Amino acid sequence: MTLQEALTELAKRFTKTYNDEFRALGLPFLNDSYLEVGKSWDWVELDTYASIIAVPVVEGTVTLTAGSYTVTVAEAVAAWKGRFFRKKGGDNDYRIVYVDGTTLSLDQALIESGSITYEVEKRFYTLPTETLRIISFENRPFLTLQDNNALRQHLPNYSSPLIDNPFSVHGSDKFTDDYTTGLVSVAASTPNVITGAGGMAWLANAKAGNIIRFGNVDYRIRRIETDTRMVSYNKMPATSSVAYAIKQDNAKTVRMRGKFTANKVIPFQYIRSVFNLIHNDDTLDLSQEANLAVLDFAESYLASGPLKQEDWAAKLIKAQARLERAQALSKPVREVFHQFSPLIPSGLGRGRR
């Protein structure tokens, strides 16, 4: 269902004609409903995949001055911003808040002094902005595959919690910066494809769900294909060689458990967010039943507000019932893993008196 089809149906429910005036009236309510329904359930349509590359601790030697907020090292990397600096084997961690050449700026004044061996640890990793909930990890070295009525079962190894749960969601990333290198263009024949020119490095500096802003409009990135080509969730008007900015938009981070001696790719699956619809040809990425629930909620919101109707409460109840049906239909026919309550005779379980 496209945005225009959804708004046209919504207009019919109020015996109105779909035009620019109704579009301006109904679009905010439709988008609010879409976002609410999207985050209300782990929809199979929103199940997707990503990975994080865990990196090892970096070591070196440096001379420290007690009371200083800066450290000058022989070789520094701009990507160290947000990582932790400490004396090797020491208990004091300092957050690196900025990197200027070979100078590291720290969040606290140094306690240690003299020549030391230091460590720089990347403890927090930024998730794709669209990540709503992490639902599983793939434990490849210990993966067991079983076919059961056309279902593929993934049985992880439970002997090592670190392997099965390598990280946990921590909070938002406050060390992200806008990325603006180069210029972007959109061809009329491919309205959801953005191409770039001018030395950009999108693979390293953009993630799914990030905002890309140009022409005073915010669009959402669906995927990065090359350093100069990306695909947007939204359709866009044709444009040629304009300035842009990629924004993280309050991206979540994860805290890594354990340390690594080499780079390690950690794959995971997650439920993604849905985003505001902008172009008439933008589509609702949910099931047919869930899309109808979106329409029902938008109808009830309009009926309780600008298009006041006395039966708005009944419309809201109908929308909730439609949503519950959509959620029930979204469950797998035969769940891969299903846990049953143990059959413990009354009085023999915990809490016996």
CA distances from 134 to 16, 242, 267, 290, 324 (A): 42, 35, 11, 21, 22
**What is residue 243's predicted lDDT score, i.e. its pLDDT?**
97
| Residue 83 to residue 62: CA distance in whole angstroms | 17
**What is residue 146's predicted lDDT score, i.e. its pLDDT?**
41
Which segments of 39-172 does DSSP mark as H helices, in order? 161-164
Identity of the amino acid at 305: G
Residue matched to tokens 């309780």? 304
**What is residue 219's predicted lDDT score, i.e. its pLDDT?**
97
Parts of the chain with a pLDDT under 50: 141-162, 333-334, 336-337, 353
| Residue 31 to residue 85: CA distance in whole angstroms | 44
**What is residue 246's predicted lDDT score, i.e. its pLDDT?**
97
pLDDT, one tens digit per residue, over 139-156 is: 554 433 444 444 444 444
Token pair of 106, please? 């720290």
Side-chain half-sphere exposure of 91, counting CA atoms within 13 A: 0
**What is residue 266's predicted lDDT score, i.e. its pLDDT?**
87
**What is residue 261's predicted lDDT score, i.e. its pLDDT?**
85
Q: Percent of the chain having pLDDT more than 70?
A: 86
pLDDT, one tens digit per residue, over 141-198 is: 443 344 444 444 444 444 444 455 677 888 888 898 999 999 999 999 999 999 999 9
**What is residue 348's predicted lDDT score, i.e. its pLDDT?**
57
**CATH 2.40.30 intervals, the chain:** 56-121, 177-247
Residue 234: alpha-carbon gap to chain centroid: 17
**What is residue 332's predicted lDDT score, i.e. its pLDDT?**
59
Q: Nearest-CA neighbor of 272 among 49, 53, 51, 52? A: 49
**What is residue 169's predicted lDDT score, i.e. its pLDDT?**
84
pLDDT, one tens digit per residue, over 99-119 is: 999 999 999 999 999 999 999
Domain 56-121 = CATH 2.40.30: yes
Hey, which bits of 65-150 come out as E strands? 70-72, 84-87, 94-100, 103-106, 114-121, 124-126, 131-137, 144-148
67 backbone dihedrals φ, ψ, rounded to 5°: 90, -10
**What is residue 164's predicted lDDT score, i.e. its pLDDT?**
57
Supply the pTM of this predicted model. Answer: 0.82
| Residue 140 to residue 142: CA distance in whole angstroms | 5
Query: What is the bridge-based pairing of β-strands 103-106 and 264-272?
Result: unpaired
**What is residue 139's predicted lDDT score, i.e. its pLDDT?**
54
Please classify residue 9 by burial: count the beta carbons closer than 10 Å to its beta carbon, then call 0-12 exposed, 13-18 middle and 19+ buried: middle
Residue matched to tokens 């006041």? 308
Residue matched to tokens 């981070």? 253
* Class of the CATH-defined domain 177-247: mainly beta
Q: How does 101-126 read in b/e, with b if 16+ C-beta sit within 10 Å?
A: eeebebeeebeeeeebebbbbbbbbb
Note whether 3 and 281 are within 8 A (CB).
yes
CA pseudo-torsion sign 251, 257, 263, 267 = negative
**What is residue 41's predicted lDDT score, i.e. its pLDDT?**
94
**What is residue 178's predicted lDDT score, i.e. its pLDDT?**
94
